[in-house]
Chains A and B, each alone.
Chain A
Amino acid sequence: MEAKGAGAWSHQHSGYGVDHLRYGQVADRGLVLIPGLGATALKRFFFRATHTSLMLPQFGEYFRPEWFLCFQRQVDILAAQAKKPGGSDVKAKFVVLAGCMGLLSIALPLSAHHSFAAEYDNSKPVSITGKAVRMDWVNPHSHLVFEVTTPDGKTEQWAAETPPPNGLYRAGWRQNMIKGGEVLTVNGFLAKDGSNLMWAQSVDFADGRRITLNSSPDVQPARGGGGGGRGAGAGGPPQP
């Protein structure tokens, strides 16, 4: 089957029951230039990723339209390169790979169950040192309130959001740990709205201890039940 307007480009017969003409026009033009990467498999994957119902908004975090645009853009660059006399084929291929891999990597963060991604910017990790004021041990998220002295000598009040009390307990946090006045460093991510709010991924205490809070989606999976905490799970007896 000949694709419309395929011209000098070759095309593949997809066999998936999708619109062969569109497939021939779009995916072929991009992926045919990346041999050695399992071009056919890649073609199928990216085509389906960008042309299936996974493009619905609720999956926006997982499969972004940019993947598809990436190909369009890179294909344009490639075409321009190819048209230039002496244009480098290798460079063009590299541009395709680099650009698309770059977009792939930022498409992956999860829309976490507590909309972490909506509130905090995990591309901006920070470590802020201050004096503890208090800890609000509440559900659904607890807050560590601390005072930061800015370089020009002013003090600002900051809050770091943490997992809920049960999560804190399982991470080894105890309610009497924050006495007020002690210096600590909160490591985490800034809130997107620019306020003095951050998500606490771990806290370093003055005596060198670090408590890691395992509820952020970018951290390793939780270590498990924690020290003295009761095991979670569907009604099993407590571990001896």
Chain B
Amino acid sequence: MTVRFSGFLCVVALCAAPAFGQKQAFSPSKGWYNQPDLQGIWMPAKPVDNLEKGGYIKDPSNGKIPYIASAKAKRDQNEKNAKTADLVNRCYMPGLPRLMTMGEPFQIFETDKYVSIVSEYSHTYRMIYLDGSPHIDFPGLWNGDARGKWDGDSLVTDVINFNDKTWLDKSGNHHGDKLHLTERFTRTGPTSLLYEATISDPDTFTKDWKIAVPMTQKTGTTARIMEHECQDLAFGQ
């Protein structure tokens, strides 16, 4: 009895020791499949209307998208014609990373074989396969073809096979079909997640650039992904 009690005291002491040291980085629980648990309903702290305004661009440090000249002209054109040129206004899928950053909540489900992200936007979802399989030979996808793996407590994805029809935000920032997206999902706290993405497209940008968008979790018993039907009213109901 005495030995056990002192053993218990030792364990308590050992556990207490780190609390006197530096602040620990948050480590998500390991969840059902013994991998970092990113599950929950997340949305950006603020909807990203323009990636260049709001401090979302971490690299380059000037916070501007490194367009090639012709692509920058196209961006300005897009911004002017956004009402008709933005396909989201006609209920098409927003693509990536816009689906994550546009301000619609999304729910992350994970198993050991895949992570699936269901967006509240117009029944749009994406699957990130964790099985190490190669990308499919199917270009021209709206949300790309994603594979993921765990890097410490982060989910790192590799997404390709995009079409050139989607925008990066609602302000006309765009990309081509050679877009190669590398995302990183890191749970930074019990109700916060950091979404980072490296955007690469040699046809549109002079170099790769990086964004970071913090997400907060919708919690409470009323937090649910709701139905959303996008209705292109130009064609009636």
Contacts and interface: CB of A to CB of B under 8 A. Distances in A.
A229 interface: yes
Interface in A85-119: none
Contact of A229 (B113, B114, B129, B136): B136
Contacts of B131: 238, 240
A174 B111 contact: no
Interface in A112-150: 137
A10 interface: no
- How big is chain A's contact interface, by range? 10 to 19
Contacts of A205: none
A71 B139 CA distance: 56
B34 interface: no
Given A238-B129, A238-B131, A240-B131, A174 B137 contact: yes
A233 interface: no
Contacts of B55: none
Q: How large is the interface on B (under 10, 10 to 19, 20 to 34, 35 or more residues)?
A: 10 to 19
Contacts of B235: none
Contact of B136 (A169, A235, A237, A240): A169
A137 B114 contact: no
A237 B138 contact: no
Contacts of B111: 237
B137 A228 contact: yes
A238 B133 CA distance: 10
Residue in B111, B137, B139, B140 whose Cβ sees the most chain A Cβ within 10 Å? B137
A14 interface: no
A215 B127 CA distance: 25
Interface string A16-30: 000000000000000
Q: Taking chain B's interface residues, is the majority helix, strand, or loop, or is none over half, making it mixed?
A: loop
A113 B139 CA distance: 27
A178 to B, nearest CB: 14
B35 interface: no
Nearest to B114: A237
A237 B23 CA distance: 38
Contacts of B133: 238
Contacts of B129: 230, 238
Given A238-B129, A238-B131, A238-B133, A169 B114 contact: no
A176 B139 CA distance: 10
Contact of B139 (A175, A235, A237): A175
B140 A238 contact: no
A167 B185 CA distance: 32
- Among A228, A229, A237, max chain B CB count under 10 A is at A237
Given A237-B111, A240-B131, A175 B140 contact: yes
B137 A238 contact: no
B39 to A, nearest CB: 15
8 contacts: A169-B138, A174-B137, A175-B140, A228-B136, A230-B127, A237-B111, A237-B113, A238-B133
